[in-house]
Amino acid sequence: MVEIKDNSMVNKLVLLFFMDKMDVPLTDSIILEACYYQNPWLEYMDCVQALNQLLETGFIFSTVHENLKYFSITPDGRACLSHFYTRIPASVRQEIVDFVKLNRTSYRRKQEYSTSYHMNADKTYTVQLKIVDPMKTTLDLKFNVANKETAKGVAAKWGDKAAQIYKLLYEQLVD
């Protein structure tokens, strides 16, 4: 891979390119996971700095929902990217395209399908399952289960079953 980690402009372009290809609002943790932890495109501090600078210049914007900040590329960010994307090494662009093709769905699920559980006073557990997008909560489901193992099992299944459950509920309740 071509060394790009010391070039501030290229770092920002890499981030814009990734956000453009993902084409959904992203949390900072998803951005850091993809650009630093999973791939060698940016160093941690370079990624954080580029994110802040892009926000300051209006090339990306942020929204807050459910106490999470989501970042999206702006039309100005896309225009900037269209003029300068060739400064990103072709190999890095291809890595990003390939990575996004393989991982877009799983990253969207990480952001859209959330789950939590807690113990109640009577020693049962309340499980909360959500389908959230950056603008609204689509589904918020809470129910009690007998024990922690069941709560963990429900939470583990939610990511794979959320869309099916939502569809079933919608079809049964909305006509």
Residue-wise pLDDT tens digits, 75-124? 999 999 999 999 999 999 999 999 999 988 888 777 788 888 999 999 99
3-state secondary structure the chain: CCCCCCCHHHHHHHHHHHHHHHCCCEEHHHHHHHHHHCCCCCCHHHHHHHHHHHHHHCCEEEEEECCEEEEEECHHHHHHHHHHHHHCCHHHHHHHHHHHHHHHHHHHHHHHEEEEEEECCCCCEEEEEEEEECCEEEEEEEEEECCHHHHHHHHHHHHHHHHHHHHHHHHHHCC
pLDDT at 10 exceeding the cut of 50: yes
List where CATH 1.10.10.10 sits in the chain.
8-110
Class in CATH terms, 8-110: mainly alpha
To the nearest whole number, what is the mean pLDDT of the chain?
89
